[in-house]
Amino acid sequence: LSSLLCSPSTSLGLKNFPLLYLCCITTCSMLIYWFILRQPNRSHLLDDFRNNRTPQLQITDIISHVVEFAKDQHGSRFIQQKLERASAKEKQLLFDEVLANAHALMVDVFGNYVVQKFFEFGTPEQKVALGRSLKGDVMNLALQMYGCRVIQKALESVDETIQLEILKELESQVLKCVKDQNGNHVVQKVIEKVKPERLQFIIDTFMKNGPDTLSMHPYGCRVIQRVLEHCTEEQKRPVLEALHANVRSLVLDQYGNYVIQHVIEHGSDPDRDRIVREVRCNVLRYAQHKFASNVIEKCLICAAPHHKTMLINEVCGDSDDPNPPILLMMKDQFANYVVQKMLDTADPVYRKKMMYAIKPHIPVLRKFSYGKHIISELHVLALLTCLPFYLL
């Protein structure tokens, strides 16, 4: 390099020395980074394992290296597989190191799976010890990407005593968890696995902050659905009444519509009836809406036959109406799917009614891409039902 810089024949010369010096420093820095700092600080044992030089490796061989293995992608999988068939003695050998480093493993991308595996395959005593190790750190773990998975597995695996210890730490922060991308999964698991009588604090928090507001939250809507699935009727009723009071806003919301669909699919007949009647009063508006149209389709799939009849009569309009709702719906990017779902789910009598309500408008529909979908559907239905629809 020095001869290159000093040579009178070279075009570089000393004037370019700062640039070359900078290039050298940059290159050296990159070499240090890639060949020293980026090199994993692995033990010879883990390195041999990763390179298939220890085909007969057993649990007893990795004692004092358990944490290192647990934090390695391949080592973690090795421990998980061995745990499923390990003896009580082998489990304890592993567990001693896992428990001593529990928190570090719980928040690790690979280590969390080892902790989860102990909640699943550990001895009852090990599950209790691991559950108690969560004390004082439940919230931090619940909000962490990998820790939240450990909390969920713990809730599935431990007895009620440990469950209640976990709940105690969540109680004052439940709303924060619900609105968190990781924490919401923990609250969902709490609702699924803990006895409903222990969950009143969740219901109280939701009622204080508005179930309708939470239903329009990207994570809150999931938790509300779990409440509707697992809580008692007494706990669900105030939540449902709040949803009914705000159903018009919810059906139009990108998240709230899923909660209303859930009530339609899993709710009681009276609750379903109230929603269908609201939909019927605004069927054209809702059918033309991106999110509300999905609610109508859910009504057609899950509602009782008389509910479907109500909706079909509403869209078909009067026989002397030149522009019935169904005509506008067939030309709309969202509502045309509602019409197709009506044709698919209607009983033969009302399907025939729809087909004849549509028939006079066939020439107009041919001009619209969405209308063409309906015409194709009608052709198929006419063939399947042997209806005289040859004029299509």
What would the pLDDT profile of 175-225 be if each residue is shown by its tens digit? 999 999 999 999 999 999 999 999 999 999 999 999 999 999 999 999 999
Residues 6+ apart with CB under 8 A from 195: 160
Residues in the chain: 392
Out of 101-115, 279-293, 340-354, pick the least confident.
Answer: 340-354
Residues 6+ apart with CB under 8 A from 171: 201
pLDDT higher than 70, residue 141: yes
174 lies in a domain?
no
Tokens of 381: 């239905």
Q: Could you say which DSSP state residue 239 is in?
A: H
Q: Give residue 389's pLDDT band: very low, low, confident or very high (50, 70, 90).
A: low
Q: Give residue 3's pLDDT band: very low, low, confident or very high (50, 70, 90).
A: very low
208 lies in a domain?
no
Burial class (CB in 10 A: 0-12, 13-18, 19+), 303: buried
CA-atom Rg of the chain in angstroms: 32
127 lies in a domain?
no
Residue pair 351/381 in contact (Cβ under 8 Å)? The answer is: yes
26 lies in a domain?
yes
Q: Give residue 172's pLDDT band: very low, low, confident or very high (50, 70, 90).
A: very high
The model's pTM: 0.84
Closest Cα to residue 329, out of 307, 309, 354, 302?
A: 354
Query: Greatest CA separation found in the chain?
Result: 100
* Rounded mean pLDDT, 238-260: 98
Closest Cα to residue 150, out of 140, 159, 160?
A: 140
pLDDT higher than 50, residue 33: no
Q: Which amino acid is at 235?
A: Q
CA angle at 117 for the pair 202 and 58, rounded to the nearest 5°: 170
| Alpha-carbon dihedral 84, 86, 89, 95, rounded to 10 degrees | -40
31 lies in a domain?
yes
2 lies in a domain?
yes
**Secondary structure (DSSP) of 72-85:** SHHHHHHHHHHHHH
Residue pair 336/329 in contact (Cβ under 8 Å)? The answer is: yes
22 lies in a domain?
yes
10 lies in a domain?
yes
Number of independent structural domains in the chain = 1
CA distance 17 to 19: 5
3-state SS, residue 42: coil
Tokens of 25: 């420093």
Residue pair 158/126 in contact (Cβ under 8 Å)? The answer is: no
Tokens of 42: 């692995």
Question: In terms of residue numbers, what domain contains 8?
Answer: 1-39
